[in-house]
Amino acid sequence: MGAAWFEEATALSAVGREARAVAWERTPLGPPETWPEALRHAVRMCFSTKFPVMLVWGPDLTLIYNDGHRDMLGTEKRAGALGAPARTVWSEIWDDVGPLFDHVLRTGESTLSRDMYLLMNRSGFDEETYFTFSYSPLLDDDGRVAGVLDIATETTHEVVTQRRLAVLGEVHATLPTTFTSLRAFALPVVGLLAQSADIARTAFYDVRGPKILLETGEPRDPRELALVLRALRSGRRLVVPGMVVKPVRSGTGRGILAVLVLCGTEVRPWDADYARFLAVLSTSVASALRDAVRRRANDEELRLRAARSEEERNRATEVSLALQQAVLSEPPQIDDLDVVVHYQPAAVERDIGGDWYDAFETRDGATTVVIGDVIGHDLGAAVAMGQLRALVRAIGYDSQATPARVLERVDAAIEGLGLGSAATATALVAHVDRPDGRSATRTVRWSSAGHPPPLLVRADGTCEILQIRNDLLLGMDPEATRRDHTAELGPGDTLVLYTDGLIETRETRLRDRLRQLAAVLAQAHDADLGSLVEVTLAGMLDGTADDDVAIVMVRPA
């Protein structure tokens, strides 16, 4: 029979019951009835908690652990770990953790390691693992450091998952969108995956042969070529332990373009998560290649069609120009309000983009100004832009409703008329009231459907960015609730509306560009509106714009 205290401490633990079978008298600790009170307290704590805990005691660092720590020992280390020296149990990682034990025993100071990489052999193979753990000193009955308490959690799953998600993101960012040749497409993919800790081998097989077109890593599985041939015959993805073989269809009815092979590493166990990661990765690469090929085929088809149909192109040009003239009309002349508009196409040669503006008087004598941007830059976008401009103008004039209600009715019309996703757009409608006679200050009531924030340049040169939480874009939800916002427009103040081509760049954050725009406007606030538009374009755009730019400025006369 063992010591009564030991029987009681281990009674509710599976590992504790295993501990009763250990011949402790053959270990440096001796039989449990001889253990010092300090060690007994540590053992009771170890077996009473569900959190993974391991402790070592004495000169040989004799090891004791609980149920929570058991899985960390894998399938191979569990046998004989209880009562064994820690150095023996963790021999392959002792160079990593041994100095930490020494530090605690020598100084009595605790350690903390976060997501520490340990290459351990706990289940019959060298396995990449990560742990967050703290080593703390255990004092004997005389107050001297006699052991170490290890409270740990394994973070391998979290670290590996985040790493794999990062690889998927990097692959999506790296994948070519154009196709000149299979090798040109494969080269950046293979180069990126060669740096991944989860990919031991990447190979692109040309279907002519088949033969390897590009690869990295040595093939370990002699079945690889046989699996490639099988995938070619079946046209289906194959998932075998340690490997995914993905045939890439052309998407143009021309069969299979290539076969992609992805192999996992030997230091991670092959499980459902690993298989899923390689399958998703292979699908992402295959989809991008297929899309690039399809895009090239579509481009070639469009070029041929354009060459054969000059007359159709001319008609499309005429339609685009007619829409452009309708959209880019001059604002009405309003006695007590200056309204200046400007449209600048992008550097890319095209007849019309998705940006538009409008200004009109409503029946109550107030002025409504509108600015918007339809998603897309083709004839379809131009048609949708014309439809949306007409809807906003007609509903705004007829209903004399607030901007939010106007945008809600436009949403309903998009749904009811079946305009579809082509009518998805950002838009901002602003209603400038007439002065009430008692004050020259006007109320501006406005609502934004996902559009960049308006700016209000005060007569004294201060500039306010009217930043609010945007409502949904037009065309996304016919029942979306929209909100009105108000601002005061005094004599000499200028309301500035614009499209995103004025502020969006790849190099600078949007918030910084907004501040830059505010500074440019503030510096030239007292210029006439035509000059203020020119100063704004010069201050914000470097010669030519990457996107269309539309601007509307309003100032009480």
- DSSP states along 184-202: HHHHHHHHHHTT-TT-SEE
Whether residue 92 is found in the same domain as residue 169 = no
What is the tens place of the pLDDT at every residue in 373-388?
998 777 778 888 889 9
Token pair in block for residue 489: 């427009």
Helix boundaries (H) for 249-271:
none
Residue 321 pLDDT class (50, 70, 90 cuts): low
Q: What rounded mean pLDDT belongs to the chain?
A: 90
Residue 1 pLDDT class (50, 70, 90 cuts): very low
Residue 182: per-residue pLDDT: 85
Residue 327: per-residue pLDDT: 63
Residue 315: per-residue pLDDT: 63
Q: Are 45 and 53 in contact (CB under 8 A)?
A: yes
Q: Is 317 contained in some domain?
A: no
What is the tens place of the pLDDT at every residue in 48-73?
999 999 999 999 999 999 999 999 99
Give the position of tokens 């004598």: 365
Whether residue 338 is found in the same domain as residue 276 = no
Residue 381: per-residue pLDDT: 80
Q: Is the predicted pLDDT of residue 438 greater than 90, yes or no?
A: no
Among candidate residues 322, 347, 212, 203, the one with its CA nearest the CA of residue 263: 203
Q: Is the predicted pLDDT of residue 354 greater than 50, yes or no?
A: yes
DSSP-assigned letter for residue 437: S
Residue 447 pLDDT class (50, 70, 90 cuts): very high
Q: Quote the CA–CA distance of 146 and 140 in Å, as a whole number.
A: 6
- Domain end marker among 154, 176, 192: 154
- Domain end marker among 103, 122, 154: 154
Q: Is 464 contained in some domain?
A: yes
DSSP-assigned letter for residue 277: H
Is the bond into 210 cis (omega within 30 degrees of 0)? Answer: yes
Residue 545: per-residue pLDDT: 67
Q: Are 358 and 326 in contact (CB under 8 A)?
A: no
The total domain count for the chain is: 3
Residue 2 pLDDT class (50, 70, 90 cuts): low
Whether residue 493 is found in the same domain as residue 369 = yes
Whether residue 253 is found in the same domain as residue 144 = no
Whether residue 483 is found in the same domain as residue 533 = yes
Whether residue 516 is found in the same domain as residue 373 = yes
Question: Which residues are CB-contacts of 222 (< 8 A; sequence separation ≥ 6)?
Answer: none
Whether residue 284 is found in the same domain as residue 346 = no
Q: Are 503 and 373 in contact (CB under 8 A)?
A: no
Q: What is the mean pLDDT of residues 199-205?
A: 92
Q: What is the mean pLDDT of residues 84-92?
A: 96
Whether residue 504 is found in the same domain as residue 485 = yes
Residue 325 pLDDT class (50, 70, 90 cuts): low
The CATH number covering residue 343 comes to 3.60.40.10
Q: Quote the CA–CA distance of 449 and 367 in Å, as a whole number.
A: 19
DSSP-assigned letter for residue 351: S
Among candidate residues 120, 116, 125, the one with its CA nearest the CA of residue 94: 120
What is the tens place of the pLDDT at every residue in 168-201?
999 989 888 887 888 888 899 899 999 999 999 9
Q: Is 360 contained in some domain?
A: yes
Residue 348: per-residue pLDDT: 54
Q: What is the mean pLDDT of residues 212-241?
A: 89
Question: Which residues are CB-contacts of 64 (< 8 A; sequence separation ≥ 6)?
Answer: 19, 43, 46, 54, 55, 56, 57, 82, 83
Pairing verdict, β 243-249 and 238-240: antiparallel
Domain that holds residue 505: 333-556
Q: Is 385 contained in some domain?
A: yes
Q: Quote the CA–CA distance of 292 and 527 in Å, as a whole number.
A: 49
Residue 331 pLDDT class (50, 70, 90 cuts): confident
The CATH number covering residue 301 comes to 3.30.450.40
- Domain end marker among 106, 133, 154: 154
Strands (E), 398-498: 425-432, 442-449, 455-457, 463-465, 485-489, 494-498
Q: What is the mean pLDDT of residues 380-399?
A: 89
Q: Is 319 contained in some domain?
A: no
Of residues 309 and 182, more confidence is placed in 182
Measured distance between the N- and C-terminal CA atoms of the chain, rounded to whole angstroms: 102
Residue 75: per-residue pLDDT: 92
Residue 252: per-residue pLDDT: 66
What is the tens place of the pLDDT at every residue in 257-304?
889 999 999 999 999 999 999 999 999 998 888 888 888 878 777 888
Whether residue 273 is found in the same domain as residue 147 = no
Q: Quote the CA–CA distance of 194 and 201 in Å, as a whole number.
A: 7
What is the tens place of the pLDDT at every residue in 494-528?
999 999 999 988 888 999 999 999 999 999 999 99
Q: Is 540 contained in some domain?
A: yes
Among candidate residues 294, 306, 308, 313, the one with its CA nearest the CA of residue 379: 313
Residue 413 pLDDT class (50, 70, 90 cuts): very high
Whether residue 150 is found in the same domain as residue 166 = no
Q: Is 327 contained in some domain?
A: no
The CATH number covering residue 79 comes to 3.30.450.20
Q: Is 462 contained in some domain?
A: yes
Question: Which residues are CB-contacts of 418 (< 8 A; sequence separation ≥ 6)?
Answer: none
Residue 455 pLDDT class (50, 70, 90 cuts): very high
Helix boundaries (H) for 309-436:
310-327, 379-399, 403-416
Number of H helices, E strands in the chain: 15, 20
Q: Quote the CA–CA distance of 428 and 445 in Å, as a whole number.
A: 11
Of residues 385 and 1, more confidence is placed in 385
Whether residue 223 is found in the same domain as residue 339 = no
Work out the angle at residue 184's Cα, subtended by the Cα atoms of residues 181 and 185, and round it to the nearest 5 degrees.
90
Whether residue 13 is found in the same domain as residue 33 = yes
| φ and ψ at residue 315, rounded to 5 degrees | -65, -40
Which range (119-133, 136-150, 306-320) has the least confidence? 306-320
